[in-house]
Chains A and B, each alone.
Chain A
Amino acid sequence: MFKIAKSKLPELLKAIAAQQELFLPVNNNGQVNFAAWFEGCNADIETLKTVKSPKDMFFPQSETLYTVKKEQHKLSVEPQALADQNFVAFGMKACDIQGIKVLDKVFLAEPVDTFYRARREHGTIVALACHEPEESCFCKVFGVDCAEPDADVVMWNANDTLYWKAVTDKGTALTEALSGVLENADAADEKAVETEQENIRAIVEKLPYTNLSLEGWNGNVTEEKFNSPVWEKLYKPCLACGTCTFVCPTCQCYDIKDYDTGHGIQRYRCWDSCMYSDFTMMAHGNNRTSQMQRFRQRFMHKLVYFPANNDGMYSCVGCGRCVEKCPSSLNIVKVIKAFEKEAANHE
């Protein structure tokens, strides 16, 4: 294990950026999001949650797939080049890494999404354990341990020090390249990390949503949940905006569109939201005609369809961004609790 004084964070970042492209949480006028590093950027590793999840680094909100150009009477098609530069995703949290694992199930299964795979192969994830989990967090419900993220490198932020542990070959390679800035850790530092982990896990036990029950969700419950009268009550405050889907680390639906450049076509894909009226619009029209149906789709996907198709893996990771950001204070926790209450009423 290695370590570096937190006061030397700018030096560490600069040393990483000298090796590879670097993305990290940056504060822009009070809002923290993952962004490309630049000299003097307002790096912020203290804010627990970035507004958007870091999934953009692997699955950007919009990206060009290919370009068609028209020259006189000829059309030429130019595919977009795949990512070929190594980069470091610095400061990702355990829940967001679980989010990437959800995306892997979608984009790395056959047929493989080559754009996504290229970014995954070139990315090194340097995770940060959650120093002070917050009330909207419920990652433990989905088996995530925010004291020990699953990444190439794991960092712990305690005692004004960043403790650094390489886990994978990629992580070891990055660590070796940073030997000029990282210091060797000793037995006392190992102990400090253990204490930090104990502290984190003790807080996690006290979080209000930590014991949220998923009983009754996984398994063969599609019909029962789909036809429940609960949705009709639940969806009402929903404004049909896309906030929950766009801040979510696992929402993976996208739309493909053509942009008319005047002398050709740029075919791009961009995140879509099941909350939007044109979501999965087809030639015959739309197969979800009401907001109740669109609202239901989001939670059925996360809690029923996804686990049914992916060995029980839920496509919610308990990051709690929807809990904090929904303009109408609706969220997946309220959905789970409403069904729990409904089940109790029936017994």
Chain B
Amino acid sequence: MQEMINRAKELLSDGTVNRVLGWRRGDMSYNPEPSYFETAEDLDANFVYNGFCGANLSKYMIEGSKLEGKTLVFLKPCDSYSFNQLIAEHRVDRDKAYIIGVGCMGKLSFEKIKEQGVKGITNITIDDANENITVETLYGEKTLAYKDCMLERCHVCKGKEHQIFDETIGESRDTKDADRFAEVEKIEAMSPEEKFAFFQNELSRCIRCNACRNVCPACSCRKCVFDSTKFDSAQKANVDSFEERMFHIIRAFHVAGRCTDCGECSRVCPQGIPLHLFNRKFIKDIDEFYGEFQAGVDPEAKSPLTSFTFNDVEPGVTGGRR
């Protein structure tokens, strides 16, 4: 972390960048927030980078690209896919960003920690090897395995390589220990009735807070159709059939082929809905239909869903998978 602060101070003082986009220390061990820094003093006092800095800062660079001069942005390996995808969609300005690819040892989930019976957290310390975390609470101390506290997305880590950067700082660790499509396959194996029941139960918890949409780097429309006052939908109404059958499915269709699987939707959902499963189903289908494709690897690459070849499959209800 100190290396990041030092480098940020250098780039600020030599005029390369006008500001730094990173994470600000919270008032609890687990709640740093995405934030801009403009002075060395602020960086020294408040900049933080640790396992709780899960937020993907690529999305903030849509606004960051509109600011005067360059912004130094710290991107973790998986965040860098999102940044590339935003370049492909002309939503961020590459020339406005100075990208430092930062190492990542897997990011932690407050929910996963609490699920392990932790209450009343007063302090969390992460050991140097990132193997264990020690949670001090009002009801005693607990040591938990780092792996057991990671976000879902880290268990299917896309790897240690940054897809775009000006320079890199720090080591990464490939935390993958699960099959990316295992959960999707489980759902594919269900009967249509079972699938419907599964998603109906998960989505019945949706409160239409739009956190999934607003955090999503692929959801970069300046005005979402669901925010239109002329759109006669139950957009805020939380009428059951709406989100169970429409909102999340429409969103998944809209980001298909562009979703990098950064996992922010599931990280932020206050109701713990596994929203990434929709996106991952599309990714799996795209891989099977058009050959393996990972959004955000190459901003010049044509997305299989927005390019046409005569050999394209025509999957459908009548034609089956071909």
A276–B237 CB distance below 8 A: no
Interface residues of A in 277-297 (CB under 8 A from B): 277-278, 281
- Chain B positions within 8 Å of A, measured between CB atoms, are 26-28, 31-36, 55, 60, 110, 115, 119-122, 137-139, 201-202, 204-205, 207-211, 213-215, 223, 227, 229, 232, 234, 236-239, 267-268, 270-272
Assuming the A-B contacts A28-B201, A241-B215, A260-B232, are A334 and B115 also in contact, with contact meaning beta carbons closer than 8 angstroms in the complex? Answer: no
A88 at the interface (CB under 8 A from B): no
What is the total number of residues of chain A having a CB less than 8 Å from a CB of chain B? 52
A134–B120 CB distance below 8 A: yes
B270–A325 CB distance below 8 A: yes
B36–A236 CB distance below 8 A: yes
Closest Cβ–Cβ distance, residue A328 to chain B (whole Å): 5
A329–B26 CB distance below 8 A: yes
Q: B205 contacts which chain A residues (CB < 8 A)?
A: 28-29, 31, 33, 51
- Cα distance A28–B215 when bound, in Å? 24
Closest Cβ–Cβ distance, residue B18 to chain A (whole Å): 15
- Cα distance A268–B239 when bound, in Å? 11
A38 at the interface (CB under 8 A from B): no
**Would you give the 0/1 interface string for A234-267, flagging 1 where the beta carbon is closer than 8 Å to chain B?**
0011011111011100000001010110000000
Interface residues of A in 194-252 (CB under 8 A from B): 203, 206-208, 236-237, 239-243, 245-247
Closest Cβ–Cβ distance, residue A210 to chain B (whole Å): 11
- Cα distance A272–B207 when bound, in Å? 12
Q: B229 contacts which chain A residues (CB < 8 A)?
A: 278, 281
B238–A203 CB distance below 8 A: no
Which chain A residue lies CB-closest to B26?
A: A329
Q: B232 contacts which chain A residues (CB < 8 A)?
A: 259-260
Q: A52 contacts which chain B residues (CB < 8 A)?
A: 207
Assuming the A-B contacts A61-B238, A135-B120, A268-B237, are A236 and B35 also in contact, with contact meaning beta carbons closer than 8 angstroms in the complex? Answer: yes
B201–A239 CB distance below 8 A: no
Assuming the A-B contacts A33-B205, A278-B227, are A272 and B115 also in contact, with contact meaning beta carbons closer than 8 angstroms in the complex? Answer: no
B227–A239 CB distance below 8 A: no
- Cα distance A6–B238 when bound, in Å? 35
- Cα distance A144–B234 when bound, in Å? 36
Q: A323 contacts which chain B residues (CB < 8 A)?
A: 28, 31
Q: What would 28 A/B residue contacts be, using CB atoms closer than 8 Å?
A: A30-B272, A48-B119, A51-B271, A52-B207, A132-B120, A135-B28, A135-B121, A135-B137, A135-B138, A203-B120, A236-B35, A236-B36, A237-B34, A237-B55, A241-B213, A242-B210, A243-B209, A247-B207, A247-B209, A268-B237, A276-B236, A325-B270, A327-B55, A327-B211, A328-B55, A329-B31, A334-B26, A334-B33
A70 at the interface (CB under 8 A from B): no
Q: A135 contacts which chain B residues (CB < 8 A)?
A: 28, 120-122, 137-138
Assuming the A-B contacts A52-B207, A260-B232, A329-B31, are A207 and B138 also in contact, with contact meaning beta carbons closer than 8 angstroms in the complex? Answer: yes
Q: B33 contacts which chain A residues (CB < 8 A)?
A: 237, 328-330, 334
Q: A247 contacts which chain B residues (CB < 8 A)?
A: 207, 209, 270
**Would you give the 0/1 interface string for A19-39, flagging 1 where the beta carbon is closer than 8 Å to chain B?**
000000000111101000000
- Would you call the interface of chain A mostly helix, strand, loop, or mixed? loop
Q: B115 contacts which chain A residues (CB < 8 A)?
A: 30
A337 at the interface (CB under 8 A from B): yes
- Cα distance A330–B28 when bound, in Å? 12
A333 at the interface (CB under 8 A from B): yes
Most buried by B among A240, A245, A329: A329
Assuming the A-B contacts A31-B271, A236-B36, are A62 and B237 also in contact, with contact meaning beta carbons closer than 8 angstroms in the complex? Answer: yes
A133–B237 CB distance below 8 A: no
Q: B268 contacts which chain A residues (CB < 8 A)?
A: 241, 243, 327
Most buried by A among B31, B115, B202, B238: B31
Closest Cβ–Cβ distance, residue A33 to chain B (whole Å): 7
Q: B138 contacts which chain A residues (CB < 8 A)?
A: 132-133, 135, 203, 206-207
B34–A132 CB distance below 8 A: no
A271 at the interface (CB under 8 A from B): yes
A270 at the interface (CB under 8 A from B): yes
B237–A243 CB distance below 8 A: no
Closest Cβ–Cβ distance, residue B239 to chain A (whole Å): 6
Closest Cβ–Cβ distance, residue B150 to chain A (whole Å): 16
A324 at the interface (CB under 8 A from B): yes
Q: A62 contacts which chain B residues (CB < 8 A)?
A: 234, 236-239
